[in-house]
Chain A
Amino acid sequence: MMLLFYLAAAIAVISTAAVIVQTNIVHALIYLILSLLAVAVIFYVLGAPFAALLEAIVYAGAIMVLFLFVIMMLNLGQHTRDEERSWMTMQVWIAPSIMAAILLAQLVNVLSQYDQELTPVRVGVLEVSALLFGPYVLAVELASILLLAGLVSAYHLAKK
């Protein structure tokens, strides 16, 4: 289990890094799907099979297909790739990378003071749905209203 966790973590980090340095947008999308599937494996290892399934179905399935549709609609071809290459200069990367690295170092510094082990306990669909339709039922209703608002505004914005 532990080996699986670290393997999936390495795949997630490498493929996420590949997403942000890619110039070909479809390749970047495929790497993003790989990263999301690796995170789904991590969820499963951590004892959250329901979240793993949702990650694979909703994130890697539905949301990435939305991205794919839009890339197809925009028809970004060779000239976009050349444009991307011309934007990928070294000086663009230096300052944000250094600042983000400082933030990450601080985070690691704070987190490494914890010295706790977690033993994965399987928390399945039953417990999650008992919570969802018990104390958090108002949050579920609000989420449905948010999705409805997203639907209406996406229809309105993408209209000619």
Chain B
Amino acid sequence: MESIPIEHGLILAGILFTLGLIGVLTRRNIVFVLMSLEIMLNASGLAFIVASARWGHAEGQVMFLMILTLAAAEVAVGLGLIIQVYRRYQTVDINVLSEMKG
């Protein structure tokens, strides 16, 4: 099989992670923020898979499974919180939540 330079895979993971980071920093819709968090988690999983493909080991895939579980649990809790926020404030704007201080 042809070989792929390992840094291309890792740079791809870095680009996806950075795009997710920009999404978290700029969007004000809370659902978009959660989606960007998903992108970031997925990018870190991609980095694990690339590393495990470099060494031909299965450990990276095991770590990807752990990340998958974490993402599923995080989305479930996050979406529950979004539903609750929408019920109380009738909006998905995260800036509205800043009145929750102290």
Interface residues of A (CB under 8 A from B): 1-2, 5-6, 9, 12-13, 16-17, 19-20, 25, 28-29, 32, 35-36, 39, 42-43, 45-48, 50-51, 54-55, 58-59, 62-63, 66-67, 70-71, 73-74, 76, 80, 83-84, 87, 92-93, 96-97, 99-101, 103-104, 107-108, 111-112, 114-121, 123, 127-128, 130-132, 136, 139, 143, 146-147, 149-151, 153-158, 160
Contact = CB atoms under 8 A, between A and B. Distances in A.
Per DSSP, are chain B's interface residues mostly helix, strand or loop, or mixed?
helix
Given A20-B36, A63-B38, A111 B18 contact: no
Interface of B: 1-12, 14-16, 18-23, 25-29, 31-32, 34-36, 38-39, 42, 45-46, 49-50, 52-54, 56-62, 64-66, 68-77, 79-84, 86-87, 92-93
Given A46-B9, A128-B58, A5 B92 contact: no
For the complex of A and B, the 6 pairs showing the least CB-CB separation, nearest first, are A150-B73, A157-B80, A96-B25, A20-B23, A154-B76, A117-B3
B68 to A, nearest CB: 6
Contact of B72 (A42, A47, A58, A115): A58
